[in-house]
Structure 1
Amino acid sequence: MSNTTSQVIGFIGLGVMGEPICRNLAVKTGARVIAHDLDAAPLQRLAAHGVQAAPSAAAVMQAADVVFLSLPSGEVVAQLCRQDGGLLASARAGQTIVDLSTSPVDTTRALAGEFAALGARFVDAPVARTRAAAEAGTLAVMVGAAPEVFEAVKPLIATFASDIALCGPVGCGQVLKILNNMVLFETVVAVSEAKAIGEKAGVDPNVLFDTLSKGSADSFALRNHGMKAVLPGEFPERAFSVLYARKDLKYALQLARDAGVDARGAAVVDAWFQQAIDSGLGEKYHPVISRLIAGQR
């Protein structure tokens, strides 16, 4: 990673995923890393790994050559970029901004144009997998960028990701991430329906899921969301909540509308998510919809 040590790396947003990603960047590159978050606690923890705290997002932009964003939504990303004294106001020619958040495709492409007008490069690189994968540096990252920009940021992304795909020009990383999550959510509904039906028909759900995993119904969602959450009925908070999942699904439904595709499977998931939120389960891990599908609260 010696080619990265001369760069100053900025990081904005040190939440569930951002903090371990930032730590991996600092530890594995040996570069100067300067970070900002509204919460002081992750900054205090990261100080032990050499990460310097910045008083504002603008201060990060002014100091860094490459700036990573790990924020809750595309709306937050757009606001932070466009507000008075925001990231666009501090951007300079030659700078690269890498958005690890899941954001709407049109927002991403519009921001890329606004940064390009200033001579800066905006890359979408939404991350997939879990907090544990972020800790281990084994995330999957789907990148939207020109090939030469991708090659420039790939060594940095490799500090926290084991699977890195160039999906096409700016915005294509978001398309892939949004559709990945849509397929996952729809599969969780199918797994939940199978458990509810099988159980009521007299099949032990442990036997059901184990047998499905050995047949053509096997999937990542079955083995992870099904066996580790739906089966034991464990839906913690501070995991990938219904509220966050529904935000990503809304992006998928908007993409479908823009493309003129009837995505009625995704619309079914959206109805379950809305019911979960209405039932007070919005902060729970999103496979909690399996309770509602089974007729439970």
Structure 2
Amino acid sequence: MTLADRPARLGFIGLGVMGEPMCRNLALKSGAEVRASDLDPAPLERLRAHGIRSAGSVAEAARDADAVFLSLPSGAVVQSLAEAPGGLLENAVPGQIIVDLSTSPVDLTRELARRFAERGAVFVDAPVARTRAAAEAGTLSVMVGADAPVFERIRPWLACFASDITLCGPSGGGQIVKLLNNMVLFETVMALSEAKAIGERAGVDPALLFETLSKGSADSFALRNHGMKAMLPGDFPERAFSVSYAAKDLAYALALAADTGVAARGAQLVRALFEQAEEAGVADRYFPVISTLPGS
């Protein structure tokens, strides 16, 4: 049986808040054989019901895989899995594609792409945006850094969990766009926090304020989701996109700003807010919790 005659074999590493539903959709919609790996056995057990095999190690998840998808908490973890003994670099084979769905630093992404290319493999940055609900529904947005032929090869797999898939240029392009997406989101949530505090103290009901803003030029995804669904009800759960995760992404964006000679003053202000949130002990809460900080 040739490669073209058999179903695709895919590995998936990282089954957290976003990874588990992405892996499930990939298995259900792609027709591929999927092997998954995670330190937590619970999502592996849940995914077994959908025909997804458990891999006991990174090497087992990657073995004979046409593509390996990574959904990991940071660039540091991606780098560790790539470089560790028995890791992804050691097990990479010519023609294999590593698809990093995580948000990682641009310079690390390009370095890993170079090192995988030395082994004849391809490292693609494809960070995802939107919420866990979107991951469940298969309506994520994916920003891809890859050559066009590679992009076309992986696009059908990405379409299993994403409704918007954008080629953002060669290696690193996906991470650049994702980092700027998040930077703009964080700054918008900061602006909403300020507006809510000012309006409330001036005597305007926050719900009325946000509803009215949604009908004018201040309308945004952040207003309708982070503002109305989190800030108004005061719902800032754990196991959502936390302050600590947001701070990590913002640090990557600020590093990129420094590399390009841009001051990014708004992002610097958000970083100070994130630091205040960490000092207040709410680093594990959903990041719009910054709206509750003293002075907000």
AA at the equivalent of 1:212: L
1:5-30 CA deviation, whole Å, 9 max, x = no partner? Answer: 72101101111111110100111112
Which secondary structure does the structure 2 equivalent of 1:38 belong to?
coil
Q: How does 1:142-161 map to 2 (within 5 A)?
A: 142-161=143-162
Q: Contact 2:242–2:283 (CA<8 Å) still a contact in 1?
A: yes
Cα distance in structure 2, aligned partners of 1:263 and 1:90: 40
1:18-45 CA deviation, whole Å, 9 max, x = no partner? Answer: 1110100111112111111111111111
1:83 is displaced (CA, Å) by: 1.3
Which secondary structure does the structure 1 equivalent of 2:168 belong to?
strand
1:196 maps to 197
Cα distance in structure 1, aligned partners of 2:85 and 2:6: 32
Cα distance in structure 1, aligned partners of 2:235 and 2:113: 40
Which secondary structure does the structure 2 equivalent of 1:162 belong to?
strand
1:75 maps to 76
Cα distance in structure 1, aligned partners of 2:294 and 2:78: 34
Whether 1:105 and 2:106 are equivalent positions in the alignment is: yes
Cα distance in structure 1, aligned partners of 2:23 and 2:294: 38
Q: Contact 2:92–2:121 (CA<8 Å) still a contact in 1?
A: yes
Cα distance in structure 1, aligned partners of 2:182 and 2:67: 27
2:231 maps to 230
TM-score, scaled relative to structure 1: 0.97
AA at the equivalent of 2:70: L
1:61 is displaced (CA, Å) by: 1.3
2:278 maps to 277
Moved more, 100-109 or 61-70: 61-70
Q: How does 1:155-174 map to 2 (within 5 A)?
A: 155-174=156-175
Q: Flag structure 1 segments of 5+ consecutive residues without an equivalent.
A: none
AA at the equivalent of 1:240: F
Which secondary structure does the structure 1 equivalent of 2:73 belong to?
coil
1:4 is displaced (CA, Å) by: 10
Structure 1 pair 271–5 and aligned structure 2 pair: CA distance change class (3 A): farther
1:207 is displaced (CA, Å) by: 1.2
Whether 1:55 and 2:81 are equivalent positions in the alignment is: no
1:62 is displaced (CA, Å) by: 1.4
1:263 maps to 264
Q: Contact 1:4–1:29 (CA<8 Å) still a contact in 2?
A: no
1:150 is displaced (CA, Å) by: 0.1
Q: How does 1:176-255 map to 2 (within 5 A)?
A: 176-255=177-256
1:95-145 CA deviation, whole Å, 9 max, x = no partner? Answer: 000000000000000000000000001100000011111111000000000
Structure 1 pair 226–5 and aligned structure 2 pair: CA distance change class (3 A): farther
Structure 1 pair 137–92 and aligned structure 2 pair: CA distance change class (3 A): same
1:206 is displaced (CA, Å) by: 1.2
1:135 maps to 136
Cα distance in structure 1, aligned partners of 2:60 and 2:217: 52
TM-score, scaled relative to structure 2: 0.97
Cα distance in structure 2, aligned partners of 1:219 and 1:261: 25
AA at the equivalent of 1:75: A
AA at the equivalent of 1:160: F
2:289 maps to 288
Q: Contact 1:20–1:134 (CA<8 Å) still a contact in 2?
A: yes
Percent of aligned positions with the same letter in both sequences? 68
1:294 is displaced (CA, Å) by: 4.8
Which secondary structure does the structure 2 equivalent of 1:168 belong to?
coil
Which secondary structure does the structure 1 equivalent of 2:165 belong to?
strand
Which secondary structure does the structure 1 equivalent of 2:63 belong to?
helix
Cα distance in structure 1, aligned partners of 2:57 and 2:217: 51
Whether 1:24 and 2:25 are equivalent positions in the alignment is: yes
Whether 1:91 and 2:84 are equivalent positions in the alignment is: no
Cα distance in structure 2, aligned partners of 1:264 and 1:4: 54
Cα distance in structure 2, aligned partners of 1:111 and 1:155: 24
Q: Contact 2:189–2:223 (CA<8 Å) still a contact in 1?
A: yes
1:63 is displaced (CA, Å) by: 2.8
Q: How does 1:6-25 map to 2 (within 5 A)?
A: 6-25=7-26
Q: Contact 2:8–2:31 (CA<8 Å) still a contact in 1?
A: no
Q: Flag structure 2 segments of 5+ consecutive residues without an equivalent.
A: none
Alignment length (residue pairs): 293
Cα distance in structure 2, aligned partners of 1:160 and 1:281: 31
1:221-252 CA deviation, whole Å, 9 max, x = no partner? Answer: 11111111111111111110000000000000
Which secondary structure does the structure 1 equivalent of 2:56 belong to?
coil
Structure 1 pair 200–213 and aligned structure 2 pair: CA distance change class (3 A): same
